[in-house]
């Protein structure tokens, strides 16, 4: 069986921001905001007067960057543990590379050219890793790595061949990175860059569609805002790229382009909504706490409460029982190793008890991990209840074990009795029989010899032997009646009743066969009840009733005697009680002092050790 102690508890990867204390974080985030505002201001102040045909394009363009950086500040503030904020910030800052070009100094221009379009790398990274911020497939890791490498390298390769003045920008300052002024080489590198960028963009789009297609319901819920905001933004990006090569009608520049840029500005907000929606759901955890405070939950309720709080209705829970080395669900049924259930969609989160030992596991949708803190909070909230639950489960397991071992003891004793009976039958009784035969032969042989004294002696020995055999036969029958083993309850009880000292009526008796321990329990109960009645009750009549349904056999022996029998007085009834309880049954003695005694029992016939309650 699995040992969950070996499996790492990993729900969070800390980021530097998470570790940083509040004040440091505030400084960093303020700086980030200020930088974005300065860049936006530069872009608008310098860009709007020069913008052709309308300044609106520039303003909307600056808003896209501000939107990304602004969203990143919220994300980093609210979810410092998530890489989403960092990726949003990187996208927003790289977006402002256009502002650098507008600054008009040669270093700013050159840097702007190198950084041009690099925002696609963190943006794609974000799209492919949302909502966790971690890339979960090899393909996606390769695509994102390719973007981070090809975009800057491509830019550098083209920038070294570019002289802005030769390219037609007469008032542009010189390009400090230029090595050779070669417009044709420059054009080739631009084409190559566009080709590589286009291919990677297609790869990103295909991978995104694939993720959406394969996403589970809870995952789609998280992805949905981004998914819907993505397509206008995607169109905007496509048009931006096309506009690099083909001159578009002016309507695009003045109306369509700002509208599409507006869509791009909405995208980071969609990310934020997707990210913080899980955060909002953290309120559910307090709901769970309230629910748990109400006291013990009925079986099955705990896992549902946890499922609600975690936001995954399909969540399953398994408790780890270290003693029996098995997992059980919250209805105490043993379940398969939950770690086998981990898959593309299902993740397994371990919960430790207060001593840090494995306590339980939660099997949930991977989308729940979008907010690792939440599942951790859920686990913490449920920890005490889970520990309690486990104690219960352990207690039940112990009880079951004790009951099973008691049943085994009784069964072993029965087996031993059967064995003794068989040994007597096959051993001593057979030998005595052989002896009788020899003796009888001696008598036959002597009958012609006419020795009356020997004849008398032989007769005497023969009679003694017969009596011994009769006694041995009764002894064997008392130890364990062969009739019970061979023919079942009906004939065996009938035989018992025939020898009873008080007139006994069998009112009802099932003639079907039952498991041997059940038959033995019923037989010995009747036998004990008859013997007790004969000894103490002064009854004149006894009635035996036994009935069986699908799962239970009930038996009742009642007499019309003096009553007042005490279950604790004799060892007989106590032994019977042990025997019956070990089978998961109950024994009852009803013997009022006004008279009459009824011994009754209810025994499961399936031997699965059900609870009689």
Is the Cβ of residue 297 or residue 500 nearer to another protein in the bound state? Answer: 500
- The two beta strands, 358-365 and 316-321, are antiparallel
How many residues would you count in the chain?
613
Is the Cβ of residue 275 or residue 458 nearer to another protein in the bound state? Answer: 458
Helix locations, 116-216, DSSP H? 120-129, 138-159, 164-167, 183-214
Give min distance, CB of 454 to another protein, in A: 16
Q: How far apart are CA 335 and CA 343, in angstroms?
A: 17
Structural tokens at position 276: 């913080």
- As a whole number of angstroms, the longest Cα–Cα distance in the chain is 157
Q: Would you count residue 216 as binding another protein (CB under 8 A)?
A: no
Candidates 28, 48, 276, 502; binder of another protein (CB under 8 A) is 502
Candidates 504, 537, 558, 597; binder of another protein (CB under 8 A) is 504
Candidates 331, 540, 588, 606; binder of another protein (CB under 8 A) is 540
Candidates 195, 242, 255, 445; binder of another protein (CB under 8 A) is 445
Is the Cβ of residue 263 or residue 458 nearer to another protein in the bound state? Answer: 458
Is the Cβ of residue 241 or residue 502 nearer to another protein in the bound state? Answer: 502
Is the Cβ of residue 137 or residue 436 nearer to another protein in the bound state? Answer: 436
Contacts of 280 (CB under 8 A, 6+ apart): none
DSSP category for residue 53: S
Q: Which residue has the tokens 């500005």?
A: 265
Candidates 198, 503, 592, 612; binder of another protein (CB under 8 A) is 503
- The two beta strands, 504-508 and 542-548, are parallel
Is the Cβ of residue 398 or residue 494 nearer to another protein in the bound state? Answer: 494
Is the Cβ of residue 445 or residue 512 nearer to another protein in the bound state? Answer: 445
What is the size of the binding site for another protein (CB under 8 A)? 40
Q: How far apart are CA 483 and CA 486, in angstroms?
A: 5
Q: Would you count residue 494 as binding another protein (CB under 8 A)?
A: yes
Stretch that binds another protein, among 139-147, 213-221, 269-277, 502-510 (CB under 8 A): 502-510
Is the Cβ of residue 141 or residue 443 nearer to another protein in the bound state? Answer: 443
Candidates 346, 477, 536, 579; binder of another protein (CB under 8 A) is 477
DSSP bridge pairs for 559: 542, 597
Count of Cβ atoms closer than 10 Å to residue 595 Cβ: 15
Is the Cβ of residue 238 or residue 462 nearer to another protein in the bound state? Answer: 462
Give min distance, CB of 549 to another protein, in A: 25
Give min distance, CB of 417 to another protein, in A: 16
Give min distance, CB of 590 to another protein, in A: 22
Site string for another protein, 565-584 (x = CB under 8 A): --------------------
| Contact in structure between 266 and 70 (CB atoms under 8 Å) | no
Residues 402 to 441 in contact with another protein, rule: CB under 8 A: 425, 429-430, 433-434, 436-441
Return the sign of the alpha-carbon dihedral for residues 74, 76, 79, 84. Answer: positive
Identify the three-state secondary structure at position 324.
Answer: coil
Q: Would you count residue 449 as binding another protein (CB under 8 A)?
A: no
Structural tokens at position 465: 């032997």
Candidates 78, 282, 443, 545; binder of another protein (CB under 8 A) is 443
Is the Cβ of residue 494 or residue 574 nearer to another protein in the bound state? Answer: 494
Closest CA to 343 of 366, 373, 372, 309: 366
Give min distance, CB of 442 to another protein, in A: 10
In Å, what is the CA distance from 90 to each residue of 19, 226, 245? 20, 18, 27
Is the Cβ of residue 205 or residue 534 nearer to another protein in the bound state? Answer: 534
Site string for another protein, 450-469 (x = CB under 8 A): ------------x--xx--x
Stretch that binds another protein, among 185-193, 292-300, 497-505, 580-588 (CB under 8 A): 497-505
Structural tokens at position 404: 């099973």
Candidates 106, 324, 495, 554; binder of another protein (CB under 8 A) is 495
Is the Cβ of residue 46 or residue 439 nearer to another protein in the bound state? Answer: 439
Candidates 500, 531, 562, 607; binder of another protein (CB under 8 A) is 500
DSSP bridge pairs for 556: 545, 600
Give min distance, CB of 584 to another protein, in A: 28
Q: Provide the CB-side half-sphere exposure for 422 (13 A, CA).
A: 8
Give min distance, CB of 480 to another protein, in A: 12
Closest CA to 51 of 238, 250, 246: 250
| Contact in structure between 593 and 563 (CB atoms under 8 Å) | yes
Q: How far apart are CA 129 and CA 143, in angstroms?
A: 12
| Contact in structure between 62 and 35 (CB atoms under 8 Å) | no
Give min distance, CB of 491 to another protein, in A: 4
Structural tokens at position 591: 């013997």
DSSP bridge pairs for 334: 328
**DSSP one-letter string for 388-443:** HHHHHHHHHHHHHHHHHHHHHHHHHHHHHHHHHHHHHIIIIIHHHHHHHHHHHHHH
Stretch that binds another protein, among 35-43, 83-91, 289-297, 480-488 (CB under 8 A): 480-488
Structural tokens at position 12: 């969070």
Interface ranges with another protein (CB under 8 A): 425, 429-430, 433-434, 436-441, 443-445, 462, 465-466, 469-470, 473, 477, 482-483, 485-487, 491, 494-495, 497-505, 540-541
């Amino acid at each position: 069986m699995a040992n969950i102690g070996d499996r790492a508890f990993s729900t969070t990867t800390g980021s530097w921001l998470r570790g940083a204390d509040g004040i440091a974080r505030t400084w960093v985030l303020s700086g980030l905001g200020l930088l974005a505002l300065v860049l936006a201001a530069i872009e608008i102040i310098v860009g709007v007067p020069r913008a052709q045909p309308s300044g609106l394009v520039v303003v909307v363009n600056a808003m896209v960057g501000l939107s990304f950086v602004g969203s990143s500040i919220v994300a980093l503030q609210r979810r410092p543990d998530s890489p989403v904020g960092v990726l949003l910030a990187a996208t927003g800052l790289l977006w402002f590379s256009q502002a650098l070009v507008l600054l008009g100094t040669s270093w700013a221009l050159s840097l702007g050219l190198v950084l041009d379009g690099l925002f696609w790398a963190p943006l794609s990274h974000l799209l492919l890793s949302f909502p966790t911020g971690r890339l979960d497939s090899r393909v996606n890791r390769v695509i994102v790595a390719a973007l981070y490498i090809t975009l800057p390298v491509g830019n550098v390769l083209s920038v070294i061949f570019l002289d802005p003045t030769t390219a037609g920008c007469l008032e542009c300052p010189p390009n400090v990175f230029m090595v050779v002024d070669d417009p044709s080489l420059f054009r080739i590198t631009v084409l190559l860059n566009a080709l590589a960028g286009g291919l990677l963009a297609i790869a990103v789009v295909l991978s995104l569609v694939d993720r959406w297609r394969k996403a589970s319901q809870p995952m789609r819920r998280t992805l949905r805002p981004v998914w819907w905001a993505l397509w206008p933004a995607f169109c905007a990006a496509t048009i931006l790229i096309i506009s690099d090569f083909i001159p578009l009608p002016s309507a695009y520049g003045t109306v369509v382009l700002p509208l599409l840029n507006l869509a791009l500005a909405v995208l980071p907000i969609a990310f934020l909504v997707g990210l913080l929606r899980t955060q909002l759901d953290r309120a559910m955890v307090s709901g769970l706490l309230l629910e748990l405070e109400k006291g013990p939950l009925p079986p099955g309720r705990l896992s549902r409460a946890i499922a609600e709080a975690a936001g995954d209705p399909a969540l399953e829970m398994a408790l780890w029982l270290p003693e029996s080395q098995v997992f059980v669900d919250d209805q105490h049924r043993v379940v398969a190793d939950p770690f086998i259930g981990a898959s593309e969609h299902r993740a397994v989160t371990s919960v430790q008890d207060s001593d840090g030992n494995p306590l339980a596991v939660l099997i949930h949708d991977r989308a729940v991990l979008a907010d690792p803190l939440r599942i951790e909070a859920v686990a913490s909230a449920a920890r005490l209840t889970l520990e309690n639950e486990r104690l219960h489960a352990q207690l039940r397991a112990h009880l079951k074990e004790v009951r099973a071992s008691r049943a085994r003891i009784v069964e072993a004793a029965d087996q031993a009795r059967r064995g003794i009976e068989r040994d007597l039958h096959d051993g001593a009784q057979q030998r005595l029989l052989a002896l009788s035969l020899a003796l009888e032969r001696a008598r036959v042989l002597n009958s012609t010899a006419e020795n009356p004294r020997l004849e008398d002696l032989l007769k005497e020995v023969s009679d003694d032997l017969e009596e011994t055999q009769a006694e041995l036969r009764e002894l064997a029958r008392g130890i364990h009646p062969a009739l019970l083993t061979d023919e079942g309850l009906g004939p065996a009880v009938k035989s018992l009743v025939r020898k009873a000292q008080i007139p006994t009526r069998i009112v009802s008796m099932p003639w079907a066969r039952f498991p041997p321990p059940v038959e033995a329990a019923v037989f010995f109960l009747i036998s004990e009840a008859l013997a007790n009645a004969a000894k103490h009750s002064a009854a004149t009549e006894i009635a035996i009733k036994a009935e069986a349904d699908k799962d239970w056999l009930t038996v009742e022996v009642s007499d019309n005697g003096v009553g007042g029998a005490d279950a604790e007085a004799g060892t007989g009834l106590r032994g019977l009680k042990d025997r019956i309880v070990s089978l998961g049954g109950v024994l009852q003695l009803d013997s009022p002092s006004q008279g009459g005694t009824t011994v009754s029992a209810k025994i499961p016939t399936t031997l699965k050790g059900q609870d009689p309650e």
